């Protein structure tokens, strides 16, 4: 399912226009993005938790030359599915 299909499904389920559903989805995405950018977590009970994890700096190898390179530390967004979502996927 892509974003357009999701907007269609939201509009149908909530009995609202596609434009309103699109704005609502864009707002949710922007809010989650802003919270993660501020190193916060977003927990949706039954669905899951979005959080940021830190990756330490490390050494790696260039696959073309085999030369050792330094990989910088970074933050990566992650998602952990909630119990209700896991249960729904295993039925």
Distance of CA 18 to CAs 3, 7, 10, 30, Å? 12, 6, 8, 18
Q: Residue 39 corresponds to which tokens in the numbers above?
A: 């190193």
| Bridge-based pairing state of the strands 68-71 and 58-61 | antiparallel
Neighbours of 50 (CB within 10 A): 18
| Mean pLDDT estimate for the chain | 95
Q: In CATH, which of 4.10.520.10, 3.40.50.2000, 1.10.510.10, 3.40.50.720 is domain 41-91?
A: 4.10.520.10
Per-domain residue ranges of the chain:
1-38, 41-91
pLDDT at 91 over 90: no
The per-type count for the chain, helices as H runs and strands as E runs, is 3, 5
pLDDT at 36 over 90: yes
For residues 19-29, give the mean pLDDT: 97
**pLDDT recorded at residue 72:** 95
């Amino acid at each position: 399912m892509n974003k357009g299909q999701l907007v269609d499904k939201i509009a149908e389920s909530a009995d609202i226009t596609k434009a309103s559903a699109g704005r609502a989805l864009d707002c949710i995405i922007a809010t989650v993005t802003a919270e993660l950018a501020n190193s916060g977590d977003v927990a949706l009970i039954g669905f899951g938790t979005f959080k940021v994890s830190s990756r330490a700096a490390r050494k790696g190898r260039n696959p073309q030359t085999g030369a050792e390179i330094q990989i910088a530390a970074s933050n990566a967004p992650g998602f952990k599915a909630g119990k209700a979502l896991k249960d729904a996927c295993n039925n």
